[in-house]
A and B are shown apart, each in its own frame.
Chain A
């Protein structure tokens, strides 16, 4: 029996979770290092 080779839902969940975490951490760093306004 030939089975479909579509991506398992488990893999997608892992990738999404990791991507969201990376995005959140990067934005935290950006916020941290935001240059202060002069004046």
Chain B
């Protein structure tokens, strides 16, 4: 079985946010609008975090694209009373939107803040409703949601490989999630962390590699590469 993970090279990332936009479009993530956004109701399954360092005139900024970490020991899965969020056999932390009771325990428990909640029934004013992706469910009000590593694309890729009578290769998956595919700087990689020859495995072993909040023991599967942290 694969163990899916992601690597993001911060030394290549230009913080253009194409990844965030691509995810928004691919996964039918609804708009919040300026009013709701100001209230803290925006949903960004993928987001780019900005950490400003230093003071004028010695400013620095670190931009960190942040999907779901798909932790090996996810705090969100631990607290869900009904198993609406769960880890599948390949390490992807998934959502069952039909089972979620909207208690928001998972959104509260996630230390990375990657989880979102549908405060209202999502609206897509015309013509935005034209680009809804039929491969991804539209979530109703009252349920939680988050990045799925584009698992629907992964299932599609597996199906295609099966039809062609072959296994999934590293090349099939490196740019599989929408965020990876959209990156103009080729800064992002996806693949099987259990395959020692995959791109993500080799990069995750790099001396430049680190993960967020590593000392919490969540064992996130998103690795970042940065010369600074080496």
Chain A residues near B (Cβ < 8 Å): 1, 3, 8, 10
Instruction: Tell whether B96 is near chain A: CB-to-CB under 8 Å.
Output: yes
A contact residues around B82 at 8 Å (CB): 8
Instruction: Tell whether B97 is near chain A: CB-to-CB under 8 Å.
Output: no
A contact residues around B215 at 8 Å (CB): none
In Å, the complex CA distance between A1 and B155 comes to 9
Interface residues of chain A: helix, strand, loop or mixed (majority): loop
A contact residues around B81 at 8 Å (CB): 10
B contact residues around A1 at 8 Å (CB): 88, 94
Name the residue on B nearest A1 (C-beta).
B88
Name the residue on A nearest B155 (C-beta).
A1
In Å, the complex CA distance between A31 and B229 comes to 72
Enumerate 8 A-B pairs (CB-CB under 8 Å) in ascending A order.
A1-B88, A1-B94, A3-B83, A3-B86, A3-B96, A8-B82, A8-B83, A10-B81
A-B complex: 8 closest residue pairs judged by Cβ atoms: A1-B88, A8-B83, A3-B96, A10-B81, A8-B82, A1-B94, A3-B86, A3-B83
B contact residues around A8 at 8 Å (CB): 82-83
Interface residues of chain B: helix, strand, loop or mixed (majority): loop
Nearest chain B CB to A20 CB, angstrom units: 21
Q: Provide the B76-112 mask, 1 if CB < 8 A to any CB of A, else 0.
A: 0000011100101000001010000000000000000
Name the residue on B nearest A11 (C-beta).
B82
Q: Provide the B115-144 mask, 1 if CB < 8 A to any CB of A, else 0.
A: 000000000000000000000000000000
For window 50-88 of B, CB contacts with A under 8 Å fall at 81-83, 86, 88
In Å, the complex CA distance between A3 and B94 comes to 11
Nearest chain B CB to A38 CB, angstrom units: 54
B contact residues around A10 at 8 Å (CB): 81
B contact residues around A3 at 8 Å (CB): 83, 86, 96
| New A-B contacts (5) at CB < 8 Å, excluding given A3-B96, A8-B82, A10-B81 | A1-B88, A1-B94, A3-B83, A3-B86, A8-B83
Centre residue among A1, A3, A8, A10 by max chain B CB count within 10 A: A1
A contact residues around B94 at 8 Å (CB): 1
In Å, the complex CA distance between A8 and B83 comes to 9
